[in-house]
Amino acid sequence: MAATPASLRFLPQNLPTFQFFSSFLKPNVLSFSHKYPLSSLRPSQCSFTSPVSTTSYEFSDGASEMELRLNIGGMDISSTKDILVDTNDTSLAIRVLRSGSPITLIETNPLFDKIKSSETIWYLDDDQLVVSFKKHDPELKWPDIMESWESLAAGSSQLLKGTSIYLVGDSTEINQKVAEELATGLGYTPLSTKELLEAYSNQTVDSWLLAEGSDSVADGEGVVLESISSHVRAVVATLGSKHGAAGRSDKWRHLYAGFTVWLSQTKASDEDSAKEETHRNIKDGITAYTNADVVVKLQGWDPAYAKSVAQGCLSALKQLILSDKKLPGLLCYDAGKKSLYIRLGCRGDWPNIQPPGWDPSSEGSVTHGTQ
């Protein structure tokens, strides 16, 4: 039986901005330790609109400690008692009292990652409110205080390290649209197996299906996936439905070369229902897509929200890659392990990579997608 995807994002429909809910659906068996070489990121400057004015802030990351500076000049704050700084491990809210009523200057949930909220300090420095934080993970470089599309796109390079991303799911259109957004944000190359197949065969996928059937199309896509499995810095949109290789458990060996994201449309109304739905998928035998590293569930589909879905993908992948540091007992899903899998020949033994010389056809050998 296929393993449940290690991380879930649930994206409600008809919201001005998607809210992301995450959880680990099933503890994995092994845990590996690893280090992340971090890139140097400059402090960022952003703006946040409060009910009374535009409050600009500067953010800088100095290894284990970070600093947030908000310009509050002209707000006529007479005492530190008029300032409220509320933090927990994953959120921040800063408010000031004006005429006895709280005015929100900045509120973010979630933060880019976890902080040690009990060690947060703040003070006034002329016209600036300075808030100092300590990170749970001093090795992770924060490009901004909050988790957003911009910060995830900027901060993912230190985690992905060039590893490609493969999008699977029932809709070819969704896979392609989200792949384009991810590629733009990450500076990756967008690839579509549908377009590659049609260029190779000089016919549309629909024509190929009518002429030779879905088995032939899946075999053809498998060849394409093998040819691009050693590529780096690519976002690959695969064919939707059961016509493609991703819909068949026995054709996943080259998909494991990158981080795989299952884009799953759902009628679930909340995170718990989405998790239950995923477990039902496994019980009912819908196992191929559950080979993916993470699943992003979304209600309905509107191409205008492709970037929001892409943000959910990066958020889920970030949590997955960092998970083995935070939750002992989970498998290591870092980019180095993906690279090792490729170097050993994409033998289908993901995520329990076997020693060199292992023969996938030998007695007792099983692959992740066919257990």
140 within a domain of the structure (yes/no): no
Both 194 and 80 in a single domain?
A: no
147 within a domain of the structure (yes/no): no
* Whole-number Å distance between alpha carbons of 115 and 135: 4
Both 25 and 51 in a single domain?
A: no
pLDDT given at position 55:
62
- Residue 359's pLDDT band, with cuts at 50, 70 and 90, is confident
- Region 75-88: what's the mean pLDDT? 87
pLDDT given at position 331:
56
pLDDT given at position 323:
77
Question: What tokens appear for 241 in the block?
Answer: 């439905």
- Residue 130's pLDDT band, with cuts at 50, 70 and 90, is very high
Both 93 and 186 in a single domain?
A: no
Question: What tokens appear for 167 in the block?
Answer: 């999008």
118 within a domain of the structure (yes/no): yes
Question: What tokens appear for 230 in the block?
Answer: 């050693």
- For residue 68, count other CB atoms closer than 10 A to its CB: 22
Residue 6 clears pLDDT 70, i.e. is over it: no
* Whole-number Å distance between alpha carbons of 45 and 202: 49
Residue 310 clears pLDDT 90, i.e. is over it: yes
CATH number, residue 95:
2.60.40.790
pLDDT given at position 11:
53
* Whole-number Å distance between alpha carbons of 142 and 173: 33
Residues 6 or more apart whose Cβ sits within 8 Å of residue 368: 2, 3, 252, 256, 291, 348, 349, 350, 351, 352
- Please state whether beta strands 259-265 and 294-298 pair in parallel, antiparallel, or not at all (unpaired): parallel
- Residue 334's pLDDT band, with cuts at 50, 70 and 90, is confident
H helix or E strand, kind and range, residue 341:
helix 335-343
* Whole-number Å distance between alpha carbons of 24 and 9: 10
342 within a domain of the structure (yes/no): yes
pLDDT given at position 326:
52
Residue 12 clears pLDDT 70, i.e. is over it: no
Number of Cα atoms under 13 Å in the Cβ half of residue 40: 0
- Residue 122's pLDDT band, with cuts at 50, 70 and 90, is very high
Residue 74 clears pLDDT 50, i.e. is over it: yes
What is the extent of the structural domain holding 215?
Answer: 7-37+161-370
Residue 53 clears pLDDT 70, i.e. is over it: no
> For residue 328, which phi and psi values (nearest 5 degrees)?
-55, 140
Both 329 and 361 in a single domain?
A: yes
Both 68 and 28 in a single domain?
A: no
Both 88 and 118 in a single domain?
A: yes
Both 210 and 325 in a single domain?
A: yes
Q: Which residue has the higher pLDDT, 333 or 294?
A: 294
Torsion of the alpha carbons at 188, 189, 191 and 196, rounded to the nearest 10: -160
2 within a domain of the structure (yes/no): no
- Please state whether beta strands 121-125 and 101-108 pair in parallel, antiparallel, or not at all (unpaired): unpaired
Domain count, the chain: 2
Both 198 and 80 in a single domain?
A: no
- Region 89-105: what's the mean pLDDT? 89
CATH number, residue 208:
3.40.50.300
* Average pLDDT taken over every residue of the chain: 81
H helix or E strand, kind and range, residue 237:
strand 234-237
* Whole-number Å distance between alpha carbons of 278 and 316: 16
- Region 242-266: what's the mean pLDDT? 92
pLDDT given at position 5:
56
Both 261 and 182 in a single domain?
A: yes
Residue 21 clears pLDDT 70, i.e. is over it: no
Helix then strand then coil, in percent of the chain rounded to 5, is: 35, 25, 40
Q: Which residue has the higher pLDDT, 293 or 190?
A: 190
143 within a domain of the structure (yes/no): no
pLDDT given at position 367:
44
Residue 49 clears pLDDT 50, i.e. is over it: no
Q: Which of 115, 134, 153 marks a domain boundary?
A: 134
- For residue 53, count other CB atoms closer than 10 A to its CB: 13
- Residue 35's pLDDT band, with cuts at 50, 70 and 90, is very low
241 within a domain of the structure (yes/no): yes
CA distances from 250 to 60, 61, 370 (A): 47, 45, 7
Both 212 and 310 in a single domain?
A: yes
E strands present in 299-368: none
Residues 6 or more apart whose Cβ sits within 8 Å of residue 331: 6, 28, 29, 30, 31, 32, 324, 351
Both 110 and 211 in a single domain?
A: no
Question: What tokens appear for 312 in the block?
Answer: 């959910």
- Residue 40's pLDDT band, with cuts at 50, 70 and 90, is very low
pLDDT given at position 83:
93
pLDDT given at position 44:
30
Both 171 and 298 in a single domain?
A: yes
pLDDT given at position 288:
87
Question: What tokens appear for 41 in the block?
Answer: 């990121």
151 within a domain of the structure (yes/no): no
